[in-house]
Amino acid sequence: SGTVCDCGRYRRVVGQLNVNVARLNTSIKFVKNVIAGIRETDEKFYYIVKEEKNYREALIHCKDRGGTLAMPKDEATNALIADYISKSGLFRAFIGMNDMEKEGQFVYADNTALQNYSNWKEGEPNDPTGREDCVEMLSTGEWNDSECQVTIYFVCEFLKKRK
């Protein structure tokens, strides 16, 4: 009691700290998006794994790291992943959809049904051999049913941690 607060000086220090934090957040986003090659939405991160694996191996790879194969459930997410695939110089990558349980009834990797959105390439899914039970996204953003045993790159998705 009886001491005088030099509050103006503390406000300036706090203000400068806020500016520094904003700069660091911008730098972190740059590192994630450009250097590390991660894409993100408000709720999720997406990462192309440039290791050729079959569908089941890709599922396990993503799960072991706390994620799942990417599940584009709307046009904006699909476009983000397609742009990512295209800008990575790839033609295709596995995403988290399959009809392994019931032929012709595609579900996401989390076993939920496809709902109001799909982006099948014209004439797909066609499954001419009866073995195309998994889904790849083409660099155009279109989906194609594919054999699960082919080994290609894949896209994992991770939920952002809530504070």
Confidence class for position 32, pLDDT limits 50, 70, 90: confident
Is 123 a residue whose pLDDT tops 90?
Answer: yes
Distance, in Å, from the CA atom of 55 to the CA atom of 147, rounded to the nearest integer, reads 9
Q: CB within 8 A of 113, min separation 6: which ones? A: 105, 106, 107
Distance, in Å, from the CA atom of 154 to the CA atom of 65, rounded to the nearest integer, reads 14
Q: How many CB atoms lie within 10 A of CB 145?
A: 23
**What does the pLDDT read at residue 1?**
59
Residue 154 near residue 69 (C-beta atoms within 8 A):
yes
Confidence class for position 33, pLDDT limits 50, 70, 90: low
Structure-token pair, residue 12: 């300036």
pLDDT tens-digit profile of 35-66?
678 888 889 999 999 999 999 999 999 999 99
The mean pLDDT value for 135-162 works out to 95
Residue 46 near residue 72 (C-beta atoms within 8 A):
no
Is 88 a residue whose pLDDT tops 60?
Answer: yes
Scan for tokens 């450009």, then name that residue.
34
Cα 67 from chain centroid?
9
